[in-house]
Structure 1
Amino acid sequence: MSKFNGLLFLYSLSAVITSALTVTSTSFCEVPDHNLSRVYNLTKLSSNNKDIIIKHDYPKETIRMQLCSALIKKCNNQDGYAICLIKNNTEKGIGKFPPEVENKSGRILFNFIGDNCSLEIKYTVQIIIKCDYNAASNSYPELFPHADGQCNLFMVWKTALACGQRFQTNCTVVNDGYHYDLSSLTRSSENYVIRIRNDMKSPKIVLNVCQSIIRQYGALCPIKSGACLDDTEKLNRYSSLGEVQKPPFFKNGYLQIEYQDGALCKNKNIKTPHIKTTIIFICVLEATETIPEYVDGMDDCHYQLIWNTAAACSIESLREYSVKTAGICSVTNPITNFTYDLQSLMNRDFTVVNTSGIKYKFRVCGALTDNACRIETGICNSKYNTSLGQANTNLIWQQGGPYLNYTNGDLCENGMHHYTVIGFFCGPEGSSNQPLLMEEYPCQTVIHWNTDLACEKRIKCTTNNDDEINLNPLIQSTNNYIVRANGTEFHINICRPLVPTRGLTCAHGSAACKVSVTSENEYTNEISLGFPEDSPTLNKDLQIVLRYIGGSQCPENPVKSISSNFTFVCDNNNQGLPVYKTYVNCTYVFEWNTSIACGAVIGGWTPPCTIKDGFLSYEYDLSLLYERRQIHYVKGKQGKEYSINICGGEKYCNGSAVCHGGNGYGSLKSVIFDYSRDDIKLKYSNGSKCNNNSYTSEVRFICNDSIGIGAPKLLLESQCSAEFEWHTEVICAKHANSRDADREKVPSSGILLVSSSHGKHAGAIAGIVLTVIAVLAALIYFRKPEKRARFRSWINLLSFRRGAGRVQYCRVDTTEEARLLFDASDPTQCQTDSDDDLLHA
């Protein structure tokens, strides 16, 4: 959750705090929940020994506070305060003790009022206590950014003390000897939210994985629910869609979770008395940070969702996939795309000692150099000079942390060779950062090592609005983006730290770096432009802004750190490159024209077989899919054979593009261009009768410019629906016909992009001839000054039209932090979160 996303709601609350629940000073940290007959005891969040200290870099200030008691150390030599602001060596009491406490609609709010901030306004500090099962009882609050001198401050304090009872199941399953683990999808402080339809007022499905829903603001679901329906149109807004009862299982070849015994089914034609929910998980090795999609079943009391995710792949296949992409002493987590890089531990000797006092000396991803044991030994028994395994650089991924496996050591028992496993783990804060000998057997040694290098820290690379824009396709895993401007280079990644590059030693974890390049192609004067701490947000123009903060020291203002801003502008159907614009107030500003920023756009169908995006004016002729074959046949897992004819379905199968056994799977309902995922969906509904419903289908076209026409394949099938996926070059940019000529431009990044060509030699010659003719015509035309002036006026007009025609998305945040402090009365109200808007909200 972006800190700035929450501010719009946070500042708004300062004028509307009502009906607070005030309790006595001795019990206000024991907060009752009358709906659950439960009391949240938050007293452990205060300390009897010392005050909690929160430091804030901008503005430069320190806050000293307690939640459940008065300050231990007086504020400005006065008693009676719980929160004290220290700035320029001056203390101000900004929160008097005790606070007002409210627990309403699943939101626990502490409201402190302090001394005068101005002649008419007093300081206020509002603290939301939020459930996080993974947060310890001694966690600290997070202070939201605010302007210097602002009178209203806001915090979010995540703690397990604010959590209710949770119901869990084992999240692992073994099938045909392969192991599966969906626990990485379990959320500890928020739930997944999926809309039934693409409109703002449609009901939402709230769910978690292998765990009951976290009960909080916007999710007041029955306590055992693994999934529930949030329908604001009903008096009883929340209803259970099934309880957490049994672990994942395989059925019909699909990994599934089923939540059973939900609310009573009101459809008299359904024999099952209670609503249930089935989530089908599809293994997609490249899919990270995805959420499930609603498929069908609302009317049948059996909600069905599909989830494309790497977490659904077997541990064995994930490990095999990670080996293929591994580097020297580095490996990428195939579920999260996080790269573990242990190269900083190489070329050093480390020692562990067993219970007998015998020392084992080893190196990480390299051989020892003292030759006490045989050559290429990675770990050596120093007493007997026995090789316990030969070194290698093959860091292997596994859930929980990567490991090294040093094999082919000296002979041990039964003709076997000794081997050693060194596992790296993300230990708790403050834990020892040294290796520890865990186990030793006649032929095996096991070493565990808690190190920060094994800790993942990643931000969500999507905007937190209902029409969320997904920037994940821009994330680089092998090479950084390089932008050249004014004799310098900017090395950039999106939402992630820079990919390690030889010679580039910018601060570890930086997402953007400015360097100078010597005549010997060496990097010098490296400056960090910040770290990926916050998710993308929307500015007042509804453009996506990604901010990196906390970079190198700002030269003109040493008390500030350098940051960088990236504004993503919805534009051509290609990813483009960032363009450096300016440097102002210690911030490097970039702009990026890319279709990724367009998100999902509703398109249209033009007979006989053309789809078009009404915003970018792109058209694709799908008749190219049928140049060689009129009908494509796809076999299902239950013996069904589907026929697909996108262009001629209305003529042969009851008006349906998808057909099986004379049953049509629906007429075209919608065309959705999802630029952030580089695919186009054709949704079909109201097909032939199927039980009490009708057949539906979906065909998802995915751009793949190296596969040709491609062929459809079945992705999911149920009794009354089918979903297909079709990788093809037909919907790639090179096949698009654009009616908006001003969008065809070359990225101004200083880097030449070369795309592969599939045209024939004759086409290339024709292109050259046409280009020469066009250049000659332009030279003749622009000889006269008035012609050049007229051309410039056209360009200006086109530029103006491009800015004025930008899609205005209506945004309502669905994540909990963005709605913690204010419940908008109008759920369709459009909002912005630019800095100016936030400060004046």
Structure 2
Amino acid sequence: MSWLDFRVVLIVVLLTLISDEPVQADEVSAGEIVVDGCQLKEPVYDYTFNLTALNSLGRTVHNERGDRIEFNVCGGLSRSCGDKTNVGACLTKNDGKAFTLGKTSKLHYKSGRLYFSFVDGEKCSGDKNYTLYLTLSCDYTMDVYPLDVIPTEDSECTFYINLRTIHACLPLPANLESNVCSATDDKTGHKFDLMPFSDSNYRVSDRGGSYFIINVCKPVLYGQDSMCPADSGVCYINNNATDIKQKFVNYGIASPAPVFENGQLYMNFSSNTKCNDKENISSVIYFLCYRDVELGNPEFISKNGCRYEFSWLTSLACNYVQPCTTLVPSTGKKYDFNPIAGVYNVTQGDKHYMVGICKDIGSPCLSGDGACELNNNQATSLGKSTVELNVNETGSPFAIYTSGSKCNSSQNWTTKIEFICSNNQTDQGPKIIENSNCVLIVHFKTSLACQEQILCKVVDAGRTIDLTPLISTNENYVATVNETALKAENSNSVKYYLNVCRPLVSQYGLSCPGGSAACKAIVKGSGTPEQEQSLGYPTSSLTLYNSKVQLKYIYGDKCPADESEKMSTRIDFKCALAAGRGNPILQSIVNKCHYQFDWLTSVICPPQQCNFFTDTCIATNVGTGKSFNFRNAKFTNNGIITVEAKPKSFDIDVCAQNQTVFADYSESVVKLFFVTTGSCNSGDLLNVQLRFVCGMKETNSTVHDVSNIF
């Protein structure tokens, strides 16, 4: 298919053809289903979810007050709850008093959402009883990694917990059970690993009122409004369908691995869904290097015949890895050891070593050495340095230095550096663990190796809400105070420092307890924070319930008003188109211990379609009231952009007719879509996508050419 001409980053150009729509069948509705047991047949594919494997001796979580919530499903707790036995869920407050949250549980299904309700709890207050809701989320990796239990609390009487489990998924195809989902560039040896994408679904608009749900490396995760076929990697959601069995259509069977060919990374998806009498629908995703994001999001480009084409700008597609960093495929967590890169002297017994972290040691060791042993001014190379890191099957990072000096007749020396999580500042740095069989093993303890980062995104009806753009790496957020609600706290001497989903950024003079994500301090005339107190640690991932996007930091310092409680923070994020990134506002303090913030931000807002006026070439965002004139923009020549795609160049008229314009706040980009005539072949129509990245600087566009994939 040499006709395909695909260009993306600020410009995407694709030859567009027209095809028939697929055929559909059978009518079923998806009302709420409630059962007493642990098996439930969902209505779309008649698949029976069997959750009896979740029965255990009980799982335990804590809320921000330090109360313990213990629960079990498909059976009772093995221990008593106060004087009650054989209950399903128990709340033990930090004063030791125990209350039944629910004797038994019921299993619910509603529009793809599975959850247990414990509704026969003890009396709480007034006419309210204690209640627990346990939502089950599909996660194919949870059979390998520990279950992720996220506590949230709506009130003193009602509790919500999210349990990620493979048992809430449709069956996993055999070819995806242990797939590695990577491709290698044979010229450079670089491996493209796309498994980090599999943790979430990605919702993509078709710009016609419906949308796609995509997952990569694993099938689409079954869930609320995401009831896609068991093997689908690209799923079309037809919002016009009234029959639930016709609403979710497989547009591509999940693929176990991408392909790297002719310098391009892509993934093909075939399907059994009929497009016409001769062909089935298929999809393809082109992954394109974009270093400004980690994972990024897919974008629908066009439909060519029966083939649906998507682009995905992501750093995972870059044929380059930032030195001294690595990603954990299962979680997308990025390790960055650049802060500890350097040369270290290590003594073990009577032996002296020099070890470099992502750095050549230099003299007195041999050129290029990453580790060496010194003996009477003689250096023995124990391996050549590298800036490339790896992770093992458990997600732990390590570095391998090979090609050292001759060890014996058949082997050269090798050094393996394993990075070990340690938050103890007095117990960090390298330590020789073993020196045998021509291998030197070094453990380097550092807080940078700790994996305990919480998820900063949550799925809302198929749309992923991602707060990672708000994570700060260079400075902390300083909250303002609602003067009306908190007059006593309206003091210039009290400052509140926060970060999003991560600990506070190290700041000279700010001595908040290490690892805190929220902190209160007194700042006097000198400007130096004093009397710092932790308002909580990032131990619970982002949650969504009752349409609230909420983040909690718990286990802070002892509460001055009640030393039996720990201070905590709750942040409610709210969509505000004109707010930009926004800033936290302290709204209330409950019992002088629990700090509640509002955060108005555009980052969680869904993409907004803008009005475009062809005669003036002006786009207007009705939500913010702001307009932009593309004809007068510095990067156009009266609305014309010249794209250099060596050895060719061509012009794109930004002011063409039938423009569709979206402001995408999650990516901080403005996207333009339109069809025009172009230079692929005389008279052909070109489907054009332009991405304008919001920023303080103006830079030239980057063009990717994948015209010779097939």
State whether TM-score is above 0.5: yes
Q: Tell me which residue corresponds to 2:643.
A: 634
Q: What residue number does 1:659 align with?
A: none
Counterpart CA distance in 1 for 2:525 and 2:677 is: 67
Secondary structure at 1:187's aligned position in 2?
A: helix
Unpaired runs of 5+ residues, structure 2, are: 1-29, 360-364, 423-427, 481-490
Q: Which residue of 1 aligns with 2:686?
A: 695
Q: State whether structure 2 residue 165 is matched by structure 1 residue 180.
A: no
Tell which deviates more after alignment, 389-398 or 545-554.
389-398
Q: Which residue of 1 aligns with 2:559?
A: 554
Change (3 A) 1:676 1:622: farther
**What CA distance in whole angstroms lies between the structure 2 residues aligned with 1:573 and 1:687?**
38
8 Å Cα contact 2:346/2:431 also seen in 1:
no
Q: Which amino acid aligns with 2:674?
A: Y
Give how far 1:694 is off. 4.9
Alignment partner of 1:20 is 2:34: yes
1:420 corresponds in structure 2 to: 415
Question: 1:277 deviation in Å?
Answer: 0.9
Q: In the alignment, which residue of structure 2 is the partner of 1:247?
A: 257
Q: In the alignment, which of 664, 679, 691 is matched to residue 669 of structure 2?
A: 679
Which AA in structure 1 matches 2:675? Answer: S
Shift in Å, 1:405: 6.4
SS in 1 for 2:417: strand
Structure 1 residue 304 displacement after superposition: 0.9
Alignment equivalent of 1:228, drawn from 209, 231, 235: 235
Structure 1 residue 194: Cα displacement: 2.0
Deviation at residue 228 of structure 1 after TM alignment: 1.8
Per mean C-alpha deviation after superposition, the further-off stretch among 617-626 and 480-489 is 480-489
Return closer, same or farther for 1:77/1:295 CA change in 2, 3 Å cut-off. Answer: same
Q: Which has the higher strand share?
A: 2
Are 1:114 and 2:123 matched, yes or no? no
Q: Which amino acid letter does the alignment assign opposite residue 696 of structure 1?
A: N
For 2:161 and 2:579, the matched residues in 1 are separated by 40
What residue identity is the alignment partner of 1:210? Answer: C
1:295 aligns with 2:301: yes
Alignment of 1:270-419 (within 5 A): 271=278, 273-297=279-303, 300-314=305-319, 317-318=320-321, 321-323=322-324, 339-340=336-337, 397-399=389-391, 400-403=395-398, 418=413
- 1:261 paired to 2:271: yes
Partner SS, residue 140 of structure 2? coil
Picking from 124, 133, 156, the partner of 2:140 is 133
Question: Matched residues, percent identical?
Answer: 24
Counterparts of 1:711-750 in structure 2, within 5 Å, are 711-715=700-704
- Any idea what SS the aligned residue of 1:85 has? strand
**Cα distance, 1:454–1:337 mapped onto 2, change above 3 Å:** closer
Secondary structure of the corresponding residue to residue 311 of structure 1: helix
* Matched residue type, 1:476: S
In the alignment, the residues of structure 2 paired with residue 32 and residue 307 of structure 1 have an alpha-carbon distance, to the nearest angstrom, of: 35
User: For 2:248, which of 228, 233, 238 is the aligned residue?
Assistant: 238
Matches within 5 A, 1:317-716: 317-318=320-321, 321-323=322-324, 339-340=336-337, 397-399=389-391, 400-403=395-398, 418=413, 420-424=415-419, 441-442=437-438, 444-447=439-442, 453-456=448-451, 457-460=453-456, 464=460, 472-481=468-477, 486-487=492-493, 491-502=497-508, 504-515=510-521, 524-532=530-538, 533-535=540-542, 548-558=553-563, 559-563=565-569, 565=571, 570=576, 585-586=592-593, 600-601=607-608, 602-605=610-613, 607-614=615-622, 615-620=624-629, 622-625=631-634, 632-636=641-645, 641-646=649-654, 656=656, 667-674=657-664, 677-685=667-675, 694-703=685-694, 705-707=696-698, 711-715=700-704
Partner amino acid, structure 2, of 1:604: F
SS across alignment from 2:198:
coil
Check if 1:214 corresponds to 2:221.
yes
Q: Which amino acid aligns with 1:420?
A: T
Q: In the alignment, is the contact (CA less than 8 A) between 1:396 and 1:402 conserved in 2?
A: no
Q: Structure 2 counterpart of 1:209, which letter? A: V
Q: Deviations over 1:631-659 (max 9, x none)?
A: 5432447x764212435xxxxxxxx4xxx
Q: CA deviation at 1:173?
A: 1.2
> What is the CA distance between 1:307 and its match in structure 2?
0.5
Q: Distance in 2 between matches of 1:82 and 1:573?
A: 44
| Distance in 2 (alpha carbons) for counterparts of 1:469 and 1:18 | 25
> CA–CA distance in 2 between the matches of 1:499 and 1:116?
43
Structure 2: distance between partners of 1:464 and 1:592 = 18
Q: TM-score, normalised by structure 1?
A: 0.61
Equivalent residue number for residue 102 of structure 2: 95
Partner of 2:23: none
Paired with 2:602 and 2:59, the residues of 1 have a C-alpha distance of: 46
Query: Aligned residues, how many?
Result: 635
> What is the Cα deviation at residue 295 of structure 1?
1.2
CA RMSD of aligned residues (A): 5.4
Per the normalisation by structure 2, the TM-score is 0.71
Do the aligned residues in 2 keep the contact of 1:386 with 1:410 (CA within 8 Å)? no
- CA drift of 1:594 comes to 7.2
One-letter code aligned to 2:569:
S
Task: Quote how far apart the aligned CAs of 1:265 are.
Answer: 1.1
Is the contact between residue 181 and residue 312 of structure 1 (CA under 8 Å) also seen in structure 2? yes
Provide, for residues 635-690 of structure 1, a one-character-per-residue CA deviation record: whole Å limited to 9, x for no partner. Answer: 447x764212435xxxxxxxx4xxxxxxxxxx242333445544333321376899
Distance 1:596 1:451, change over 3 A: closer
Deviations 1:532-568 (A, max 9, x none): 444487999x9x8766444333323431414264867
Partner Cα distance (1:452, 1:45) in 2: 33
Whether the 8 Å contact between 1:346 and 1:363 is mirrored in structure 2 is yes
Residue aligning to 2:12? none
Aligned amino acid, residue 701 of structure 1: F
Is the Cα–Cα contact under 8 Å of residues 340 and 453 in structure 1 kept in the other structure?
yes
Distance 1:539 1:76 in 2: 31
Selected match of 1:204 from 198, 208, 211: 211
Deviation at 1:310, TM superposition (A): 0.8
> Per-residue deviation at 1:155?
3.3
Asked if 2 retains the 8 angstrom alpha-carbon contact of 1:350 and 1:363, the reply is no
Aligned partner of residue 551 in structure 1, secondary structure: coil
Deviation at 1:242, TM superposition (A): 1.8
**Could you tell me whether the CA contact under 8 Å between 2:132 and 2:160 is conserved in 1?**
yes
Task: Give CA deviations for 1:198-222 in whole Å, capped at 9, x if unaligned.
Answer: 7xxx333222212223334433333
The yes-or-no answer on 1:194 pairing with 2:204 is yes
Change (3 A) 1:388 1:183: farther
- Aligned partner of 1:185: which letter? P
Q: CA–CA distance in 2 between the matches of 1:550 and 1:171?
A: 38
Is there any run of 5+ residues in structure 1 with no aligned partner, and where? 1-15, 23-27, 353-357, 368-372, 428-432, 648-655, 657-666, 720-841
Q: Is the 8 A contact 2:519 2:532 kept in 1?
A: yes
- Residue 146 of structure 1: aligned partner: 154
Could you say what secondary structure the match of 1:623 adopts? coil
Q: Which moved more, 1:332-341 or 1:544-553?
A: 332-341
User: Matched residues in 2 for 1:120 and 1:592: separation?
Assistant: 32
CA 1:629/1:337 → structure 2, altered by over 3 Å: closer, same or farther?
Answer: farther
Structure 1 pair 679/156, CA: closer, same or farther in 2 (3 Å)? closer
Residue deviations 1:699-724 (CA, integer Å, cap 9, x gap)? 222345544xx5444356779xxxxx
Report how far residue 225 of structure 1 moved: 2.0
Q: Please say if residues 518 and 569 of structure 2, whose CA atoms lie closer than 8 Å, have aligned partners that are also in contact.
A: no
How far does residue 293 in structure 1 lie from its aligned partner after superposition? Answer: 1.0
1-structure distance, mates of 2:382, 2:527: 36
Give the C-alpha shift of residue 629 in structure 1. 8.6
Q: Distance between the aligned counterparts of 2:589 and 2:291, measured in 1?
A: 39
Q: Indicate the SS of the match to 2:634.
A: helix
Contact 1:365–1:392, Cα closer than 8 Å, also in 2: no
